[in-house]
């Protein structure tokens, strides 16, 4: 697969599009972003609890169920019927936010808890008009 290499600078004017030679470029974002297609799904981040790791409200999350979760991974989990995106601390059985304004959450033995997958990528949507599903 060929990717168009060009530096993006603010204030670029007066030159031909770097994509003009690649009009027939076969480009698949699936090939670039997804490693295990049959085990991958996409979610949308809500809130500000993961800003410290670069995940912001409205970002798209690519979640892979095939990746084995390890300590410190960003995961999507179901905690008592609510989907959450957090950093997993397996040793202390905690879900950690990446924002000091949010407290960690302990995972108790009485909780209904399941890890749905590991967040392998996030995509920031810069134009609200381009948000899929709306």
Which pLDDT score, from 0 to 100, does residue 115 have? 97
Catalytically annotated residue among 17, 49, 91, 122: 49
In the residue annotation, 86 being an active-site residue is answered as yes
Confirm if 118 and 86 have CB atoms less than 8 A apart: no
5-9, 57-61, 96-100, 118-122: lowest mean pLDDT where? 5-9
Query: 88-122 in b/e burial notation, b at 16+ Cβ within 10 A?
Result: beeeeeebbbbeeebeebebeeeeeeebbbbbbbb
Mean pLDDT over 14-34 rounds to: 69
Choices 3.10.580.10, 3.40.50.170, 3.40.640.10, 2.10.109.10: CATH for 29-126: 2.10.109.10
Which pLDDT score, from 0 to 100, does residue 51 have? 96
Two tokens, residue 9: 């600078």
In the residue annotation, 49 being an active-site residue is answered as yes
Catalytically annotated residue among 86, 91, 114, 122: 86
């Amino acid at each position: 697969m060929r990717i168009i290499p060009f530096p993006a600078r603010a204030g670029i004017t007066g030159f031909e599009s770097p994509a003009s030679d690649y009009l027939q470029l076969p480009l698949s974002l699936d090939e670039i972003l997804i490693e295990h297609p049959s085990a991958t799904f996409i979610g949308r981040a809500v809130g500000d609890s993961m800003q410290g790791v670069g995940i912001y409200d409205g970002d798209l999350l690519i979640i892979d169920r095939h990746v084995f979760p390890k300590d410190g991974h960003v995961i999507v989990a179901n905690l008592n019927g609510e989907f959450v995106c957090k950093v997993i601390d397996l040793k202390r059985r905690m879900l950690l936010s990446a924002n000091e304004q949010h407290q960690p959450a302990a995972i108790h033995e009485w909780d209904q808890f399941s890890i749905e997958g590991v967040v392998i990528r996030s995509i920031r949507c810069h134009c609200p008009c381009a948000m899929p599903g709306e």
